[in-house]
Structure 1
Amino acid sequence: MSVLVGKTAVVTGASRGIGQAIATRLAAEGALVVVHFGTDESGAASTVEEIERAGGSGLAVRAELGVDGDADTLVAGIRAGLAGQPLDILVNNAAAPPAGPLGVTTPAEFDRLFAVNVRAPYFIIERALPLLRDGGRIITISSVATRMANPTQTSFAMTKAAVEAMSRTLANQLGARGITVNAVAPGATRTATNGAAFDAPGLTEQIAGLTALNRLGGPDDVADVVTFLASDAARWVTGQVIDASGGLFLGPRA
């Protein structure tokens, strides 16, 4: 039985990768999904086509994140797309990638990371709250970078730590409305977009060797966790960071 029949959802950054997998999975469970994209219109159209091919319902909304007015633009598109229906599920997935280590990241790159990865989800939530039904779900994609000391991702990890703190505090604030707020932290996840990066000799095996479940993650691994949090089965889970990394870097492997 589909667990999200009659629900509406928004997934930011859903034109490819993990966001696309989340959008199609939520739709497969019965939700009407608003597919947000920034620049990849063809990718968003492909996501909607995949949703409809599987018998689901979806629509694409464009809003560039990290610029003034981004949250207002997105929420206006959501309102128009839902045509008076309330919103049940908000998934903040869109993010700018790591910019580099200390001494390499420029101030402009640093500011953009925080604009896209922190400011945008914060104000998207704020602007979307009047649309969000009591008992709704807010899920933000974080990263295992927050618990691993990787010097090449310092500024990126800082942004993800910020949204984890945001999720905990908003869970406390919005609990009176029955709204749950959680974060999901993927690890090394191979997608169609980043697949070439894992083709370096020995890299896949190296990462698998650092992972308790002994393999790379895929977009569906993360999408299934998000779908659980979006469902009624997770109604008693809030203010949490759910690690969806397969146990990446838990400690020495025996």
Structure 2
Amino acid sequence: MQLDGKVALVTGSSKGLGRSIVLRLAEAGADVIINYSRDEASADEVRKAAEAQGVRTLVVRADVSRVEGIQQLFDAAITEFGRIDIVVANAGMEKVNVPVAEVTEEDFDLLFRVNTKGPYFVLREAARRLADNGRIISISSNTTTVPQMGVGLYGTSKVATGYLARVMALELGPRGITVNTVVPGPIDGAGIFTDPANDEYKKSLISTVPIGRLGTPQEVAGVTAFLASDDAALITGQQLVADGGMH
């Protein structure tokens, strides 16, 4: 899965799953654009780790839940590298253990802005600016396929990207661009599972996973790198589930 000479943009990539995706793509030889919204120090650490792989990097602060921020991110990437070959729409926000009856309008607006509107316009911008034969990958969640109490809002906010990928696969196929979605289960060491306060919730989830453990950011990054590679040239419009058999 060599990506030498490719340029990859990963949203929300200063920590957690996004960080692992950037480093896996860099390991395969891709130059990488690292995006963050608040944590500059963490983004700089990712930059150093990626550059240690011998690739070029660009760190861009941009709020990718807003169209203006998305356009600024793509502008900076094109200015620096002249092209983009791979776009991974990873940025998102988790909110679990909230019954539908307790969801507020503010909760709804925030999660749909971050998890639905943001990725939609990241993919729109990718469709406009990606080089031919490129790769577009969205990171979703198996809460879209495995109903669980307390994830009604979060799961609903993540549903749209899978459908959008199927539509865009049809629209962009003539240009050789593939569009797919990675659907992870709960990821140990990312999102809410970086907080020890959620350890009991983590234990309850592990009991539902056939392989007996949660996935790791590195494992999901490996799936993403595969879809970004030439080996996956015939795979498009698909949702690749990586959840240890929960689905």
Asked if these proteins are the same fold (TM beyond 0.5), I'd say yes
Structure-2 change in CA distance of 1:181 and 1:158 (3 Å) = same
Which of 94, 106, 109 is 2:107 aligned to? 109
2: CA distance, partners of 1:142 / 1:198:
24
Measure how far apart 1:70 and its partner are: 2.4
Structure 2 residue matching 1:135: 3-state secondary structure: coil
Q: Secondary structure at the match of 1:134?
A: coil
State the Cα RMSD in Å: 1.8
Give the equivalent residue in structure 2 for 1:95.
Answer: 92
How big is the shift at 1:246? 1.3
Q: Distance in 1 between matches of 2:56 and 2:91?
A: 21
Paired position in structure 1 for 2:6: 7
Q: Within 2, Cα distance between the matches of 1:73 and 1:152? A: 35
Equivalent pairs counted in the alignment come to 245
- Counterpart of 2:143? 145
Match of 2:118 among 113, 117, 120: 120
Question: Is the Cα contact below 8 Å between 1:15 and 1:44 reproduced in 2?
Answer: yes
Structure 2: tracts of 5 or more residues without a match: none
| More divergent stretch after superposition (99-108 vs 236-245) | 99-108
Whole-angstrom CA distance in 1 between matches of 2:234 and 2:138: 17
Q: Tell me by how many angstroms 1:91 deviates.
A: 0.1
- The 3-state SS of whatever aligns with 2:150 is helix
Give SS of 1:9's match.
strand
Give the Cα–Cα distance (whole angstroms) in 2 for the partners of residues 111 and 216 of structure 1: 29
93 and 181 in structure 1: CA distance in 2 versus 1, 3 angstrom threshold: same
Kindly indicate which of the two structures has a greater share of residues assigned to helix: 2
- Deviates most, 225-234 or 168-177: 168-177
Is the 1:62–1:77 contact (alpha carbons within 8 Å) kept by the matching residues of 2? no
What is the aligned partner in structure 1 of residue 232 from structure 2? 234
Is the 1:34–1:81 Cα contact (8 Å) retained in structure 2? no
Question: Any residues of structure 2 matched to 1:191-210 within 5 Å, and which?
Answer: 191=189, 194-197=193-196, 200=199, 204-210=202-208
Matched residues, percent identical? Answer: 37
Runs of at least 5 residues in structure 1 that lack an aligned partner in the other structure: none
Shift of 1:197: 3.9
Query: 2:11·2:90 contact (CA, 8 Å) conserved in 1?
Result: yes
Provide the residue aligned with 1:218 in structure 2. 216
Q: TM-score, structure 2 length as denominator?
A: 0.92
Shift of residue 143 of structure 1? 0.4
1:33 equivalent to 2:23? Answer: no
